[in-house]
Structure 1
């Protein structure tokens, strides 16, 4: 049996990549034990790799009114609606780790409305899904509802930006037939040895 490829697109050898990209891949590999296929796939286009991860990091790694787990909830819910296997599996693993909950990613991916989340998080995901699927219908009423629940303008921007950014990511991953790394499937499900 042949090893499945990470993507439909050519994956350049790590040692042939520009130094900044190679360094990032090796740092991720050292931290997680493997290189996620999204890094290998996007390395095909170095300038876009840099732009993609700059915006990704600006949205996902910052402090603010949304926790890092809530940011991952947005990714998992909207990626499920966009039928992006890669992002559901990869970000589901990150969500399980950040939420310290082995069940939450599966609940959100299958039906976030029935997941064990707070009413505030449900409203956050309702808005994220609206941005993902029907952004043209977003109105002042959505902002008012989110404000009542304690979301600031910055929080609303973050919810919308994460949803929109991952809509792009979901589409590229689907076109590329990006394969989730096997390692993602067990991450955050079992206690560390």
Structure 2
């Protein structure tokens, strides 16, 4: 028997407010399934709206020098530090897809200093993990180190805000016992063959 996706009641899609249902159906159409976070947090619709509004402001923005892969890398590394299974599995899957690197999510989650990433990304994660675990120690030297890798002050705000936002997400996922979708575990691990590749013969 499959365990429940949350310790709290999970509403039926048909019973959700129209705006939330429409967003979830849009995600389902794009991904092929509904990530459990969308259903689990819908237990409180007003908070769901606030959560995903801030999520989108941080993760979908086009300004700044952080790529979508960089943003998912921050989430994966800091979620691992917070022992959040849901976010490591879900965002690790997205990270593998964006970076086109089947190994990167596991590497970053376990030890980003040994991961196959750029020195710039390593500096980014050094700072993100400091914000995650020791934000009271952040000082001007941290900004200078990131400036040396081409990050602006606004980029540094983004790194900190993503880390802080997912600190909230990690804790709610842990408290609710949010279960990652099985689909996430395999996403991005095996490269897809080119569309024009010949069909394999039996």
Specify the TM-score bucket, using the shorter chain as the normaliser. over 0.9
- Distance apart, 1:110 and its partner CA: 1.0
Consecutive unaligned residues in structure 1, runs of 5 or more: none
For the pair shown, the structure with the greater C-alpha radius of gyration is 2
- Distance apart, 1:192 and its partner CA: 3.4
Consecutive unaligned residues in structure 2, runs of 5 or more: 194-202
- Distance apart, 1:191 and its partner CA: 2.8
Partner-residue secondary structure (3-state), 1:43 = helix
- Deviation per CA, 1:26-47: give whole Å up to 9, x if none: 1111111111010011100101
1:31-50 mapped onto 2 (5 Å cutoff): 31-50=30-49
1:25-104 mapped onto 2 (5 Å cutoff): 25-63=24-62, 64-104=64-104
The equivalent of 1:190 in structure 2 is 190
Residue 3 (structure 2) pairs with residue 4 (structure 1): yes
Q: How far, CA to CA, are the matches of 1:110 and 1:127 in structure 2?
A: 16
Q: How far, CA to CA, are the matches of 1:187 and 1:176 in structure 2?
A: 24
Displaced runs of 4+ in structure 1, greater than 2 A? none
Residue 162 (structure 2) pairs with residue 162 (structure 1): yes
The equivalent of 1:13 in structure 2 is 12
- Deviation per CA, 1:123-171: give whole Å up to 9, x if none: 1000000000010100011111111111001100000000000000000
Q: How far, CA to CA, are the matches of 1:123 and 1:51 in structure 2?
A: 30
| Superposition CA RMSD, Å | 0.8
Q: How far, CA to CA, are the matches of 2:101 and 2:113 in structure 1?
A: 17
